[in-house]
């Protein structure tokens, strides 16, 4: 025997089928998505849409028929009554009953959306202008590894110097990976301003607010790549903050996860390692491209006066510790962010070394991870 939820779902499916009378109709509608929540939201949307269509049809039909059949040119004589208690009851009770009927399934779906318990994996999502940091957490909420995800759409596409790709402004250098068939809980927060994490195929969105921790969850049954964006107006370049999530088969995800844990161990070991100048330049170029080039440009010339150039600048060829401090602490009140929380000591050392030796800069010094640790661990 069908329960209420199944009856509601069957009714919604019938209504949805009636709505898709052509192949092009779905392009104008919201996505069905790939999770139970997204499908429930879609079903609610379709039922409410058709309730509104029916109400609008009845109301406007009554208006037009009344104006057509009871116009003065047809000799219509206006009624002399001034009110009707029955009509007033009807147009109060009927809309109330419709709202209550719609509120019942909507409330059930909303409660389910906020039921974040029973998760098998927790991921902290921390927003920065304009990137996402994903931190995978173990059952004790201790970080195992983390990484940043930056938009990877080439600048030449943005400035119309080359044709735009298939996933224009919706592609990143590091995608978030989750397993299929497991409930994943996301802990959402922000490091600077209000952002919002939104993946339409999952039917979920939550604000990322500095100093607050919001949560949401998803359970994806179908492997695939799903894309979203920040949906808060978080400042200049707001549109350059995409989200890409890859849902992997469980076995593939477990293998990938173990590789990341091993890489994290290697990263921690690197903090005590002494690197050669070539190794620092190679790693520093990667870090610079991901975190610095969007403002200071790949050629180090910047976009003066907003984003000063680094080629030959007093910072890049000046005192090394001051250079490190500026990168680590940022410059309050400017676009220069503090990277002390975003980069580890090895990455900070590499990017500073790169900036001091690229584009013709040559300071004849080498910056090692221990230099960063010593500078910022001192009382």
Structure tokens at 146: 């983390």
User: Which residue in 149, 155, 153, 147 sits closest to 131, CA to CA?
Assistant: 149
Q: What is the DSSP letter of 80?
A: -
Per-residue burial over 194-216, b = 16 or more CB atoms within 10 Å of its CB, e = otherwise: bbbbbbbbbbbbbbbbeeeebbb
Cα distance between residue 347 and residue 344, in whole Å: 5
Confidence (pLDDT) at 5: 47
Cα distance between residue 177 and residue 269, in whole Å: 25
Assess whether pLDDT exceeds 80 at residue 25: no
Domain boundary among 81, 113, 145: 113
> What average pLDDT does range 7-15 have in this prediction?
47
Predicted confidence (pLDDT) per residue in 253-281, tens digit: 999 999 998 888 888 888 888 999 999 99
Predicted confidence (pLDDT) per residue in 325-352, tens digit: 999 998 887 878 889 888 889 999 999 9
In a shared domain, residues 93 and 189: no
Given a contact cutoff of 8 angstroms between Cβ atoms, the answer to whether 150 and 89 are in contact is no
- 79 alpha-carbon distance from chain centroid: 59
Cα distance between residue 274 and residue 284, in whole Å: 14
In a shared domain, residues 263 and 306: no
Choose the most confident range, by mean pLDDT, from 77-91, 216-230, 232-246, 308-322: 216-230
How many domains does the chain divide into? 3
In a shared domain, residues 135 and 264: yes
Q: What is the dihedral of CA 246, 251, 254, 260, to 10 degrees?
A: -60
In a shared domain, residues 126 and 262: yes
User: For residue 46, what is the domain's CATH number?
Assistant: 1.10.287.90
- Under the banding of pLDDT at 50, 70 and 90, the label for residue 9 is low
User: For residue 236, what is the domain's CATH number?
Assistant: 2.60.40.420
In a shared domain, residues 130 and 253: yes
Burial of 50 (0-12, 13-18, 19+ CB in 10 A): middle
Cα distance between residue 183 and residue 186, in whole Å: 10
Neighbouring-strand partners of residue 172? 151
Confidence (pLDDT) at 7: 47
Domain boundary among 49, 79, 113: 113
In a shared domain, residues 79 and 217: no
Domain boundary among 113, 146, 181: 113
Assess whether pLDDT exceeds 80 at residue 4: no
In a shared domain, residues 250 and 338: no
In a shared domain, residues 74 and 132: no
What does the mean pLDDT of the chain come to?
87
Predicted confidence (pLDDT) per residue in 41-67, tens digit: 999 999 999 999 999 999 999 999 999
- 204 alpha-carbon distance from chain centroid: 10
Structure tokens at 64: 């037009």
In a shared domain, residues 134 and 251: yes
In a shared domain, residues 104 and 217: no
In a shared domain, residues 52 and 151: no
In a shared domain, residues 129 and 217: yes
DSSP string covering 138-191: -TTS-EEEEEEE-B---HHHHTTSS---TTTT--BSS-EEEETTS-EEEEEEES
Q: 169 — alpha (psi -120 to 50), left (phi > 0) or beta?
A: left
User: For residue 294, what is the domain's CATH number?
Assistant: 1.10.760.10
Task: Give the percent of the chain with pLDDT over 70.
Answer: 91
- At CB < 8 A and 24+ separation, what contacts does 253-257 make? 253/177, 253/178, 253/179, 253/180, 254/179, 256/177, 257/136
Predicted confidence (pLDDT) per residue in 100-157, tens digit: 999 999 999 999 999 998 999 999 999 998 899 999 987 654 558 999 999 999 888 9
Predicted confidence (pLDDT) per residue in 164-198, tens digit: 999 999 999 999 999 999 999 999 999 989 999 99
**Pairing, β 143-149 against β 176-179:** unpaired
- 370 alpha-carbon distance from chain centroid: 35
Q: Give the domain extent around 166.
A: 121-268
């Amino acid at each position: 025997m069908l329960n209420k939820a199944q009856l509601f779902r069957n009714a919604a499916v019938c209504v949805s089928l009636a709505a898709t009378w052509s192949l092009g109709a779905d392009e104008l509608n919201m996505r069905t998505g790939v999770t139970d929540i997204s499908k429930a939201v879609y079903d609610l949307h379709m039922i409410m849409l058709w309730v509104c269509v029916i109400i609008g049809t009845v109301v406007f039909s009554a208006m037009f028929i009344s104006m057509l059949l009871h116009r003065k040119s047809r000799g219509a004589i206006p009624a002399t009554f001034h009110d009707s208690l029955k009509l007033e009851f009807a147009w109060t009770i009927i809309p109330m009953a419709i709202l209550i009927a719609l509120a019942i399934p909507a409330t059930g779906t909303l409660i389910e959306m906020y039921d974040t318990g029973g998760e098998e994996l927790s991921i902290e999502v921390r927003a920065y202008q304009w990137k996402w940091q994903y931190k995978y957490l173990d059952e004790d909420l201790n970080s195992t590894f983390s990484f940043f995800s930056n938009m990877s759409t080439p600048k030449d596409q943005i400035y119309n110097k080359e044709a735009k790709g298939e996933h224009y402004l919706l592609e990143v250098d590091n995608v978030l990976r989750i397993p299929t068939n497991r409930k994943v809980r996301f802990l959402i927060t922000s490091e600077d301003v209000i952002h919002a994490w939104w993946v339409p195929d999952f039917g979920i969105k939550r604000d990322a607010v500095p100093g607050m921790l919001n949560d949401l969850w998803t359970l994806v049954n179908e492997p695939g790549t799903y894309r979203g964006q920040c949906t808060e107006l978080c400042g200049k370049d707001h549109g350059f903050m995409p989200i890409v999530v890859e849902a992997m088969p469980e076995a593939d995800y477990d293998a990938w996860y173990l590789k990341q844990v091993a890489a994290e161990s290697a990263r921690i070991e690197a903090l005590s390692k002494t690197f050669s100048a070539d190794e620092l330049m190679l790693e520093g170029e990667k870090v610079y491209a991901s975190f610095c080039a969007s403002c200071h440009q790949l050629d180090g010339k910047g976009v003066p006066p907003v984003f000063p150039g680094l080629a030959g600048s007093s910072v890049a060829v000046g005192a090394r510790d001051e250079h490190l401090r500026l990168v680590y602490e940022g410059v309050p009140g400017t676009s220069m962010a503090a990277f002390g929380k975003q980069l580890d000591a090895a990455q900070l050392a590499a990017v500073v070394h790169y900036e001091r030796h690229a584009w013709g800069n040559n300071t004849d010094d080498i910056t090692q991870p221990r230099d960063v640790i010593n500078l910022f661990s001192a009382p």
